Amino acid sequence: MAKEFEITEEMRAQIGRESPPWIHEITTTSVRAFARGVGYTDPVYFDVDVARKAGYRSLPAPPTYLGTPVFIPGRSSDTFSGPTEGQPAIRHGLSGLLDGGTETEYFEQICAGDTLVVVSRVAGLDVRESKSLGKMLITTNETTYTNQQTGKLVARQRGQAIFY
Amino acid sequence: MAVTWESIKEGDQLPGLDKNPGVTQLVKYAAGSGDFNPLHHDYNFPQSKQIGSIIVHGRFKYASLGELVSNWLGHNGRIQKLSCQYRGMDQPNQPINCRGVVKRKWEEGGKKLAQLEIWTENAKGDKTTPGEAIVAF
């Protein structure tokens, strides 16, 4: 728990920095794995025939699922599965991490068979104080998801992470 | 029976979705989402010890709110926007009850839209994950 924490110029310089693009895949197996992880029983997320009858091209990505980052040992995070190369990094020295919030806007249907090009950038930094966690750094990231086949922006996500 | 824009009205409650995820469910979610933060499965992880337990992924609760809305829509509409904030931690083997209510319905640019207030509640009735959804029919 930090008593004092300040955003440095070095941290502020990361705002607006974009990550290199990375691929997220949506496959029938990955949709089933996610739907199973959430606890869905709706067959539309498991059975391709049922999904087609419901009007989808294949199994649709359940809400909040935006594909699985392609995992390559040494180039991906062992913990969060996302890429580690060239990512904007805030060197804050805080060890605790909690998720703060998530907002996703959807523009197009996302289905198994799609590959998404994902680019993330630091949108903002903020310091807040809580009674239980002390001084906290709140980072806001904005990530865009573009269908590689069609070139269309399919989703945009803003997320807050809390470091303490 | 899938819901329709014409049939809903402001104040309608969505059918509740009650969850009580155990560690195995969280492990399945970790595998499905790719989030292997030990805080969600390893009781010996320093942050888990500090908190006194592993905790449910915030994103599991977010995805569960998505499931609440998906079940209600029955593929008769699509989610345009879904958001939530992780205000309180939830531990495994505790109730996480997903709830929602229709706040507003309107037409805009030829689209039939509805705004939903959504949240998860714990056993005490605290809203640990308040959020909002915009759906188009």
* Residue-range domain boundaries for chain B: 17-21+55-136
Q: Do B32 and A37 touch (CB under 8 A)?
A: yes
Q: Is residue A92 situated within a structural domain?
A: yes
Task: Answer yes or no: are the C-beta atoms of A110 and A116 closer than 8 Å.
Answer: yes
Neighbouring CB atoms inside 10 A of B25's CB total 19
**CA angle, residues B70, B109, A65, in degrees to nearest 5:** 25
Indicate yes or no: pTM above 0.90: yes
Domain containing A120 equals 9-26+67-163
Helices B23-33/B58-73 angle, 10° precision: 80
Q: Is residue A37 situated within a structural domain?
A: no
User: What does the alpha-carbon distance between residue B23 and residue B53 come to, in Å, rounded to a whole number?
Assistant: 11
Which of A38, A57, A70 best probes binding to B when mutated, by most B CB atoms within 10 angstroms? A38
> Which residue among B25, B34, B70 sits closest to A42, beta carbon to beta carbon?
B70
Chain A positions in Cβ-Cβ contact with residue B47 (cut-off 8 Å): 95-97
Q: Is residue A60 situated within a structural domain?
A: no
Q: Show Cβ contacts of residue A15 under 8 Å, excluding neighbours closer than 6 positions.
A: A122, A123, A124, A125
Q: Is residue A139 situated within a structural domain?
A: yes
A109 touches B: beta carbon within 8 Å: yes
> Which residue among B30, B35, B63 sits closest to A62, beta carbon to beta carbon?
B63
Which pLDDT value is given to residue A132? 86
User: What does the alpha-carbon distance between residue B25 and residue B38 come to, in Å, rounded to a whole number?
Assistant: 14
A28: closest chain B residue by CA: B32
Which pLDDT value is given to residue B1? 60
Q: Is residue A35 situated within a structural domain?
A: no
To the nearest whole Å, the CA of B49 is away from the closest chain A CA by 12
Q: Do B85 and A33 touch (CB under 8 A)?
A: no
* Virtual torsion, Cα B70, B76, B77, B83, nearest 10 deg: -10
Q: Do B33 and A103 touch (CB under 8 A)?
A: no
Query: Residue ranges of chain A with pLDDT lower than 50?
Result: none
Chain A positions in Cβ-Cβ contact with residue B85 (cut-off 8 Å): 100-101
Task: Answer yes or no: are the C-beta atoms of A101 and A159 closer than 8 Å.
Answer: yes
Domains in chain A, number: 1
Which pLDDT value is given to residue A72? 97
CATH number of the domain bearing residue A113: 3.10.129
Instruction: Write out the two tokens for A144.
Output: 């865009």
Q: Do A37 and B84 touch (CB under 8 A)?
A: no
Give B17-21+55-136's CATH code, choosing from 3.10.129.10, 3.40.50.300, 2.30.110.10, 3.40.50.2300: 3.10.129.10
- For A100-122, how does the pLDDT look when each residue is reduced to its tens digit (9 = 90+)? 999 999 999 999 999 999 999 99
To the nearest whole Å, the CA of B94 is away from the closest chain A CA by 15
Which pLDDT value is given to residue A4? 84
Query: Residue ranges of chain B with pLDDT lower than 70?
Result: 1
Q: DSSP letters along B81-135, please?
A: EEEEE--S---TTS-EEEEEEEEEEEEETTEEEEEEEEEEE-TT--EEEEEEEEE
CB pairs under 8 A between A and B: 114
Q: Do B35 and A78 touch (CB under 8 A)?
A: no
